[in-house]
């Protein structure tokens, strides 16, 4: 006599909420956003580097959240990567802002030169 097939539920289980499925990815974004805001408000001059004693712990926390998010295979890998990117930018915020200004000015000059020529 052959054993009976395993029982399956008649209806599929309810999907978990988005926040439960991507908890650590969202935590990484929150940590990165807090790091960016704290670095913005604590640096002296806009082009200076923020204090590493403040920004590096945020970077490490975001890195841990990102690694655990990937280990849990939460999906949507850009969520933790955006958080890690924000935390990394907060460490070098002065350099990032100066480089962003240079890129914007260069793009405007290229746009003007291409319209004139």
More confident residue, 19 or 103: 103
What pLDDT score was predicted for residue 106? 97
When divided into structural domains, the chain yields a total of 1
Residue 35 domain-assigned (yes or no): yes
What pLDDT score was predicted for residue 47? 77
Residue 84 domain-assigned (yes or no): yes
Inter-CA distances, 86 with 44, 55, 62, 110, Å: 19, 11, 9, 28
Helix 93-116 and helix 78-91: axis angle, to 10°? 100
What pLDDT score was predicted for residue 75? 81
Q: Give residue-wise pLDDT tens across range 54-105.
A: 899 999 999 999 999 999 888 888 999 999 999 999 999 888 888 999 999 9
Residue 1 domain-assigned (yes or no): no
Is residue 6 pLDDT above 90, yes or no? no
Residue 12 domain-assigned (yes or no): no
Provide the residue range defining the domain that includes 42.
22-116
Residue 70 domain-assigned (yes or no): yes
d(CA 98, CA 105): 11
Residue 89 domain-assigned (yes or no): yes
pTM value is 0.73
Q: Give Cβ neighbours of residue 52 (< 8 Å, ≥ 6 apart).
A: 91
Q: Give residue-wise pLDDT tens across range 28-58.
A: 999 999 999 999 888 888 778 888 898 999 9
Residue 10 domain-assigned (yes or no): no
Residue 29 domain-assigned (yes or no): yes
Is residue 13 pLDDT above 70, yes or no? no
Inter-CA distances, 47 with 35, 52, 99, Å: 17, 15, 10
């Amino acid at each position: 006599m052959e054993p009976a097939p395993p029982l399956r539920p008649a209806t599929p289980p309810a999907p978990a909420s988005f926040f439960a499925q991507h908890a650590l990815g969202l935590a990484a974004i929150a940590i990165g956003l807090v790091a960016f805001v704290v670095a913005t408000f604590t640096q002296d001059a806009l082009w200076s580097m923020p204090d590493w004693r403040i920004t590096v712990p945020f970077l490490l926390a975001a890195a841990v959240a990102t690694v655990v998010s990937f280990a849990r295979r939460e999906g949507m890998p850009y969520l933790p990567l955006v958080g890690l990117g924000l935390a990394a930018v907060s460490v070098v915020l002065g350099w990032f802002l100066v480089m962003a200004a240079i890129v914007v000015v260069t793009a405007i000059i290229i746009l003007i030169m291409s319209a004139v020529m």
